[in-house]
């Protein structure tokens, strides 16, 4: 378990590839931002107790969005602590069982897209535990913080910003590691990058959201994936990203976004052809044929070469 205080009243807990954040000082009212995948509730509870003490639940759970790597443990934690969960109104269809998110797009290429071929993007049904996140945050007791609607990666994605010291909790509106790169992912190389490509169904809105965040001029950028980026590096790399977001060259949602409203998915662009499964099938068949040939050759009775006549 990797728990580290990264700013005054802000602590990050790394859960494998994703992050959750604790906002609030010890002995004070505190909030949990995101919850990681399902199964992480015991780790989050243990981290919270080590930092805030036992018997000190959060005032609420705040979700940047409802993807399963951010909301997977929300229901279990909300039940254990008996606290509400807050999310943007446009996330409600996906958090209450009304709709699924647009399917992942493995054709965008890159390491994360390859890994995404083995998982499905399932919504988390939080039922009546979840409430609409309404402005301002100080009504919840979260003084000094603002939330900003930053759609693109999901329709109701939000980011949290504290102007006093310029700290940004960006969720997946952007990342601080290039998840398209296997090397960057395993080394957690810090760089302000775009949102996770396979699960971003609207690149136009994603670009607009990154420009909005760049306009806030954050001095520390914390995301759902990657390590915090600070100071001049944060300012310069976010400004560069806002000028040129590396949108995938191909992909289902690149030319046409998924259409969604307050009820969920309205329409999806056609599913593009995906050559990789066919290539994998051919390679698999070839490998299987080679194995069978080798086994057959091993079992074939050996014959003695004829001895030539004198």
- Within 13 Å, how many C-alpha atoms sit on residue 103's CB side? 15
Domains parsed from the chain with CATH numbers: 2-267 (3.60.15.10)
**Helices and strands, number each (H, E), in the chain:** 9, 14
Structure tokens, 280: 């994998």
* Series of mean pLDDT values for 10-residue runs along the chain (310 residues): 90 94 94 97 96 94 97 97 98 96 94 83 87 91 96 98 97 95 89 96 98 98 97 97 94 96 96 67 37 42 37
**pLDDT tens digits, 287-303:** 344 434 344 444 444 33
Sequence-separated (6 or more) residues with CB below 8 Å from residue 128: none
**Which one, of 252, 156, 249, 241, lies nearest residue 201 by Cα?**
252
Q: What span, in angstroms and rounded, lies between the C-alpha atoms of 165 and 269?
A: 41
**pLDDT tens digits, 251-282:** 999 999 999 999 999 999 999 888 765 443 33
Q: Cα dist. 69→64, 74, 118, 144 in Å?
A: 11, 10, 15, 27
* pTM score of the predicted model: 0.87
């Amino acid at each position: 378990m990797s728990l580290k205080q990264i700013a005054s009243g802000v602590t990050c807990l790394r859960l494998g590839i994703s992050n959750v954040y604790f906002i609030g000082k010890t002995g004070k009212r505190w909030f949990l931002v995101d919850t990681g995948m399902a199964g992480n509730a015991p780790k989050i509870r243990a981290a919270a107790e080590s930092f805030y003490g036992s018997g000190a639940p959060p005032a609420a759970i705040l979700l940047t969005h409802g993807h399963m790597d951010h909301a997977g443990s929300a229901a279990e934690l909300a039940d254990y602590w008996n606290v509400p969960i807050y999310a943007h109104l446009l996330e409600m269809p996906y958090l209450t069982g009304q709709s699924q998110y647009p399917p992942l797009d493995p054709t965008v290429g890159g390491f994360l897209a390859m890994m995404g071929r083995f998982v499905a993007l399932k919504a988390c049904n939080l039922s009546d535990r979840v409430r609409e996140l309404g402005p301002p945050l100080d009504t919840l007791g979260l003084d000094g913080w603002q939330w900003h609607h930053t759609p693109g990666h999901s329709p109701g994605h939000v980011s949290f910003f504290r102007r006093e010291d310029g700290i940004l909790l960006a969720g997946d509106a952007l990342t601080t590691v290039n998840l398209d790169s296997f090397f960057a992912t395993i080394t957690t190389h810090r760089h302000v990058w775009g949102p996770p490509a396979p699960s971003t169904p609207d690149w136009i809105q994603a670009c607009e959201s990154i420009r909005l965040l760049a306009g806030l001029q954050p001095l520390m950028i914390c995301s759902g994936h990657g390590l915090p980026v600070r100071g001049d590096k944060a300012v310069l790399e976010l400004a560069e990203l806002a000028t040129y977001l590396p949108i995938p060259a191909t992909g289902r949602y690149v030319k046409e976004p998924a259409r969604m409203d307050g009820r969920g998915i309205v329409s999806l662009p056609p599913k593009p052809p995906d050559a990789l499964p066919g290539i994998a099938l051919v390679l698999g068949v070839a490998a299987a044929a080679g194995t069978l040939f080798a086994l057959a050759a091993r079992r074939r009775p050996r014959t003695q070469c004829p001895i030539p006549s004198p």
